[in-house]
Structure 1
C-alpha cells in the first residue's frame, strides 16, 4: 500500500501496543507540518525562491490536507518564508494529524478509539491495524541508514523528520547508539539532492520547537 510522507511519519509515531504516540506532541506536530511541506516540495508543487515559498502546478492535487495547506499559502497577501509557514501551520497541525489519521483509518491501516478520562475528559488512542506495513517501513529505514540511496528523497526526508520529532528510539534502544544514529541521519540529510529544502525544513521545525519550549518555560517561571 502506498502511503504519503505524513502518513508514514504518523504510522511510525504510533506505539504498536498502547496506541499512544512515541513522540512528544509538540515535536510531532511540527514534524508533521514539515512532512506536509516536504511532500509538496518532493512532488514539485512547492519551491523555494530567495528563501520564500511559492506554489507550482497544483491542479492535480487531491489530498484534502495538502489542498488545505495550499489554500492557506494562496490566501497570503505576499510571499512568505519557510520559517513562517512552519510556525503558522504548526499551530494547526493537530487538525491535520486527525484528518490524516481518518484517511489512514479508511484504508484499514489504523483504528482510532475515543476514550474519556474519569468519564469526563475525552482523549484518543490510535492502534495500528496493518502491523506488517509498519514493520516493513521500520525495517526499510534501518536498512536505508546502513546503505542510503541519495536519490530516494522521501526516505531522506522521513529520516530527517524522525530526527526532528525525537523518535530515535525507533532505530535503536541504546543511548550511546542514539547519538551515532542522530549524527548519521544528519549526514544523510545533508548529502541528499534537494538538501537545501529538506535541511532547511528540518532546521525550521527544530527552531520552532525550541522557541515554543523556551516561551513555555519563561511563562511557567513568571507564574510562580
Structure 2
C-alpha cells in the first residue's frame, strides 16, 4: 500500500492497540504539514531557492492531499519561506482527512466513544499492522546505521522536530536521530532540505503553543 510521509507520521503518532495520540495536536498537525511539504520536495516538485520554497514542477502526483498543496503553492504567486507554508498547512482538518483515508483503506479503525458518558472522543486503533510494521522496519534500519533514502530521512527528521521520535522509538540513539535529521549522511542539497523542513516544523510547533497559551490566558 502506498502511503504518504504524512500518513506514516500519523501511524507512528498513534498507539497501535488503543489508537491514542502520543503527542498533542499542535505538534502532530505541524508535523503533518511539514511532512507534506517535504514529500513534495523529495518528489522533486518543490525546491529551496535561497530560503524560499519554489515550485519546479506542477505536474500532479496522483495523491489528493499532495496535489492540492502543490496547486496551492503554485497558485500563490509568491515565494515564501518553508515556515510560512508549514504554519499555513497546520490544520486539524488535514489530520482528520488523513485518518479517514487510512481507515477507508483498512489500516485503521474508527472507534467513537464518550468520556464519562458525556464528552465525545474518537480513537483510531490499527486494523492492519503491516503498513506500520514496514515503516518501523525502514526507520529501524536507518537508526541502526544504514543510510536512509530521502523519504525515510525526512520521516525521521519530522518525528524529531515534532518530538515524536522518543515516543515512537524510545530505544533510539539520540545522536543517530540528530545525524539523520540534520542530513549529515546526505549531499548538500538534500541535507539543506531536511534541515530546513525540520526547523520549519519546530517554528510551527512553537507558534502554535504560544497561540494556544495566549488564547487560554485571554479566554479566547
1:97–1:214 CA distance, 2 compared to 1 (3 A): closer
Q: What's the TM-score, normalizing by structure 1? A: 0.85
Partner of 2:197, secondary structure, is helix
Task: Say whether 1:54 aligns with 2:51.
Answer: no
Kindly provide the CA deviation profile for residues 175-223 of structure 1, in whole angstroms up to 9, marking residues without a partner as x.
xxx6xx3332111232133011111111111122123323433554566
1:216 maps to: 212
CA distance in 2 between partners of 1:208 and 1:10 (Å): 17
Q: Which structure 2 residues correspond to residues 14-33 of structure 1 after superposition, within 5 A?
A: 14-33=14-33
Q: Which structure 2 residues correspond to residues 1-224 of structure 1 after superposition, within 5 A?
A: 1-90=1-90, 92=91, 94-117=92-115, 121-150=119-148, 152-167=149-164, 168-172=166-170, 181-190=173-182, 191=184, 192-193=186-187, 194-221=190-217
**8 Å Cα contact 1:82-1:204 kept in structure 2:** yes
Structure 2: runs of 5+ lacking an equivalent: none
CA distance in 2 between partners of 1:66 and 1:169 (Å): 27
More displaced stretch, 162-171 vs 133-142:
133-142
* 1:121 Cα deviation from its structure 2 partner: 4.0
Q: How many pairs were matched up?
A: 214
CA distance in 2 between partners of 1:96 and 1:23 (Å): 16
**8 Å Cα contact 1:86-1:204 kept in structure 2:** yes
Structure 1: runs of 5+ lacking an equivalent: none
* 1:170 Cα deviation from its structure 2 partner: 1.8
* 1:30 Cα deviation from its structure 2 partner: 0.4
CA distance in 1 between partners of 2:132 and 2:214 (Å): 39
1:95–1:74 CA distance, 2 compared to 1 (3 A): same
CA distance in 1 between partners of 2:207 and 2:93 (Å): 21
Partner of 1:129, secondary structure, is coil
Partner of 1:155, secondary structure, is helix
* 1:23 Cα deviation from its structure 2 partner: 1.8
Partner of 1:109, secondary structure, is coil
CA distance in 1 between partners of 2:147 and 2:118 (Å): 49
1:64–1:2 CA distance, 2 compared to 1 (3 A): closer
**8 Å Cα contact 2:40-2:70 kept in structure 1:** no
CA distance in 2 between partners of 1:74 and 1:118 (Å): 47
CA distance in 2 between partners of 1:82 and 1:31 (Å): 13
